Amino acid sequence: MKRILLSGGGTGGHIYPALAIARTVKKRYPDVEIAYIGTEDGLESRIVPKEGNIHYYTIEIQGFKRSISWKNVNTIRTFISAVKRSKAYIKEFQPDVFVGTGGFVSGPPVYAAHRMGIPTLIHEQNVVLGMTTKFLSRYVDVVAISLEESQKYLGRANRIVFTGNPRATEVVQASATQGRKSLGIADVHQPIVLLFGGSRGAKAINEAVLQMVDRMKELPHVHFVYVTGEVHFDTIRSRIPMEELPNLSVKPFLYNMPDVLAATTLVVGRAGASTLAELTALGLPSVLIPSPYVTNNHQEANARWLEEQGASKMLLESELSGETLWREIKRLLEDPEEHHDMSEAARRLGRPQAAEVLVDELEKIATARF
């Protein structure tokens, strides 16, 4: 492959898989040219350019409302305009293959590529398909899924491939030694519990942790790492008596999340697609608290599926309190047999070679074009 064009945006769960694919393609084809179509002010506009050596194109697009709304009329207009603009970019860049990783920004360019006869692949990260994947699945050459459960939602797709999430490929290369070092934990045998609510934090999880923080004294041999989210850090930090809790680290954000995850014993967090990829790649038991505020409630479907496979325990926000959360954490830490079984179940679901498998698929459809 000489040129590959990517698109995905809105959240890190759509952007980071695209970048993982880009890095893997670059390793296999050092001279490959890579371009990306995103929005001018979306999260992808801040993350992708930092990667370097990726040409960044922009389109204007907005998502459809799931309910009946006059705003969807304008959305259709912007979609048509974005398709036209994407065709101009595709004509200029001349990609061998086009990859979409979700978010409404990827809809127009992937559709445009299909209309122009460019080989196309879309990647779905969640159990329940996003609207963009549902729309594009009838047009693209390949739909790649992260979780086998997604297949039942793809009746009209041309070809479905269970690849896993390419984020997993990067996580398995992380260093537990560096993770412990960054936290100041010298004992390689000390259990670590990581609690987080996503990059911006989660109010419900923060409140539950604050309610149970004194209970951490009951397990002095365990080190707790609590990631509040940057916007909540100062307020939360002021409410915790840190001098009484030497086994607790409070962080606003973790820039080396893969390394810390590699050193972790148990994870408490949301059920986004990237988190599931990381947990299953590393074989990490977890207590998942799905966000009820995401589109199509896909996090609950993710968490419920992982729980059904024996790899996690799900707590809905309506069930969440300091007491219920502490009960699950303590139970899993004090029951090595269940912890081991959950770890093995998670590992069986993992696809650590996901990025390589995806690039193999791209090679197949790119070659079939000629």
CA proximity to 39, closest of 15, 68, 76, 9: 9
> Domain residues of the chain, as ranges?
3-166+352-368, 173-349
Contacts of 110 (CB under 8 A, 6+ apart): 7, 98, 100, 120, 122, 136, 139, 140
Banded model confidence at residue 255, pLDDT cuts 50, 70, 90? confident
pLDDT confidence of residue 117: 96
**DSSP 8-state assignment for residue 155:** T
Lowest mean pLDDT among 68-82, 165-179, 330-344, 348-362: 68-82
Banded model confidence at residue 65, pLDDT cuts 50, 70, 90? low
Region 28-52: mean pLDDT is 95
> Given this chain, do its domains 3-166+352-368 and 173-349 carry the same CATH topology?
yes
CATH architecture assigned to 173-349: 3-Layer(aba) Sandwich (3.40)
> Does the annotation flag 11 for ligand binding?
yes
What are the pLDDT digits (tens) for 265-287? 999 999 998 899 999 999 999 99
Residue 218: strand, helix, or coil: helix
The alpha carbon dihedral of 121, 122, 125, 129 has a sign of negative
What are the pLDDT digits (tens) for 159-207? 999 999 998 998 999 999 999 999 999 999 999 999 998 666 688 999 9
pLDDT confidence of residue 128: 87
pLDDT confidence of residue 63: 58
Q: Where are the beta strands (DSSP E) in 241-285?
A: 248-251, 266-269
Distance of CA 281 to the CA centre of its chain: 12
The answer to whether the CB of 37 falls within 8 A of the CB of 61 is: no
Largest CA-CA distance found in the chain, in angstroms, rounded: 67
pLDDT confidence of residue 334: 96
Residue 33: phi and psi, rounded to 5, are -100, 135
What are the pLDDT digits (tens) for 346-361? 999 999 999 999 999 9
Region 212-220: mean pLDDT is 96
Query: Which residues in 195-225 are b (16+ Cβ under 10 Å) and which e?
Result: bbbbbebbeebbebbebbbeebeebeebbbb
Distance of CA 225 to the CA centre of its chain: 20
CA proximity to 18, closest of 30, 5, 31: 5
pLDDT confidence of residue 142: 96
Region 148-161: mean pLDDT is 85
pLDDT confidence of residue 200: 62
pLDDT confidence of residue 313: 98
Region 296-302: mean pLDDT is 89
> Does the annotation flag 13 for ligand binding?
yes
Give the DSSP H/E element, type plus range, for residue 16: helix 12-28
Per DSSP bridges, beta strands 248-251 and 223-227 are parallel
> Does the annotation flag 12 for ligand binding?
yes
Q: Where are the beta strands (DSSP E) in the chain?
A: 3-7, 33-38, 54-58, 97-100, 120-124, 142-145, 160-162, 192-196, 223-227, 248-251, 266-269, 286-288, 312-314
Banded model confidence at residue 66, pLDDT cuts 50, 70, 90? low
Region 106-118: mean pLDDT is 97
pLDDT confidence of residue 369: 62
CA proximity to 147, closest of 259, 303, 332: 303
- Our separate counts of H helices and E strands in the chain read 15, 13
Mean pLDDT of the chain: 92
Region 209-231: mean pLDDT is 94
Region 81-87: mean pLDDT is 97
pLDDT confidence of residue 68: 47
Lowest mean pLDDT among 110-124, 192-206, 224-238: 192-206
One of 3.40.50.2000, 3.30.300.130, 3.30.2130.10, 2.60.40.10 is the CATH number of 3-166+352-368, namely: 3.40.50.2000
- pLDDT > 60? residue 370: no
* 140 token code pair: 């693209």
pLDDT confidence of residue 202: 84
Higher pLDDT, 228 or 230: 228
